[in-house]
Amino acid sequence: MTEQGFFTEADSAEVVISRNAAAKDARLAEVMAVLIRHLHAAVKEIEPTEEEWLKAILFLSETGHMCSDWRQEFILLSDILGVSMLVDAINNRKPKGASESTVLGPFHVADAPELPMGANICLDQKGQPMRVHGRILDTEGNPIPGAKIDVWQANDEGFYDVQQKGIQPDFNLRGVFRTGADGSYHFRGVKPKFYPIPDDGPVGKLLRQLGRHPYRPAHLHYIIEAPGFDRLVTHIFDPDDPYIRSDAVFGVKESLMARFTPMTDPASGFEGEFLDLQFDFVLSRS
Ligand code: BEZ
Ligand code: FE
């Protein structure tokens, strides 16, 4: 055992870090050293009272108690602090021209049905009809055939099917499509609405105390995969949404906005007016 100094206010971080010198996992030791250094610096800057520190401990305890198989309050906390988007940015640096990524969110369902290209993912005929179309391309502009497109969206009231079991049909507004030789995709949906992230727990309470709203602007979620390319987890956002500049989880990127354009076109198969949403996705090579 190596000789170590006693704990002092001035040397607090270094004393604690040196205690971890025998850690077998070098990455763990590095991560803990950075965390300890920043945490001690924050405590020195804040100088919390003992009551305030206990309040912080109770907040984290409550966050843990809120977690279950279907609710991850710590991910929500990471989301509203911008940490989820920062981890996403660090792990998804893309070459020029490739589509940008954004958060996955908690409402993806792994086994959504594979549907024929052009299918309507809206199973309850509720909402403003929408045609969604575009191409999956590489960074040279070539179409990618055989790309898997997994799409999901909230309905016209801002709810996912999994939040309204027994109200919306299972797999409503979800589908998996595969591109053909020309790399194009098209399907029907309905205009999604903005919605609040789950805000009935400690994270929602914190948002209210900070004077923040819990809303995400209207969007469609995508996971796009193709052999030889990086998996793309992203959204398309409505630029006219009231919350486009204040997404509760910081997921919006300028490059991921596309207009929902009202249109009538007898050749489209839609009766009367529908919204047209066109967006090309560009995948980076893995
Ligand atoms: C979502 O877009 O589904 C989402 C993302 C982060 C937190 C909550 C919801
Ligand atoms: Fe969402």
**Model confidence pLDDT, tens digit, residues 85-137:** 999 999 999 999 999 999 999 999 999 999 999 999 999 999 999 999 999 99
Cα distance between residue 49 and residue 34, in whole Å: 24
Give me the domains of the chain, ranges plus CATH numbers.
1-47 (no CATH), 83-283 (2.60.130.10)
Q: Tell how far the Cα of 55 is from the centroid of ligand 2, in angstroms.
A: 31
Average pLDDT over residues 218-239: 98
Q: Is residue 1's pLDDT more than 90?
A: no
Element housing 191 (H / E): none
pLDDT, position 175: 97
Q: Is residue 283's pLDDT more than 60?
A: yes
Cα distances (angstroms) measured from residue 285 to each of 24, 122, 145, 156, 282: 35, 33, 14, 36, 10
Q: Tell how far the Cα of 166 is from the centroid of ligand 1, in angstroms.
A: 21
66, 107, 207, 212: which to mutate for ligand 1, most atoms within 8 A of CB? 107
Dig out the tokens for 39 from the structure: 């945490």
Q: Tell how far the Cα of 77 is from the centroid of ligand 1, in angstroms.
A: 12
pLDDT, position 2: 55
Q: How confident is the model at residue 70 (pLDDT cuts 50, 70, 90)?
A: confident
pLDDT, position 5: 81
**Model confidence pLDDT, tens digit, residues 199-223:** 999 999 999 999 999 999 999 999 9
Between helix 26-46 and helix 12-19 the angle, nearest 10°, is: 160
Ligand 1 site, CB within 6 A: 79, 103, 105-107, 197, 216, 249
Query: Which ligand does the CA of 248 lie closest to?
Result: 1
Average pLDDT over residues 248-253: 98
3-state SS, residue 178: strand
Contacts by 126-129, CB closer than 8 A, 24 or more apart: 126/155, 126/156, 126/190, 127/155, 127/156, 127/190, 127/191, 128/156, 128/190, 128/191, 128/274, 128/275, 129/188, 129/190, 129/270, 129/274, 129/275
Residue 36: name the closest of 52, 50, 22, 19 by CA: 19
Cα distance between residue 101 and residue 92, in whole Å: 7
Give the number of the atom of ligand 1 that is nearest the alpha carbon of residue 105.
5
Q: Tell how far the Cα of 74 is from the centroid of ligand 2, in angstroms.
A: 17
Residue having the nearest C-alpha atom to atom 3 of ligand 1: 105
- Torsion region of 228: left, alpha or beta (phi above 0 gives left; psi -120 to 50 gives alpha): left
Whether 117 contacts 180, CB under 8 Å: yes
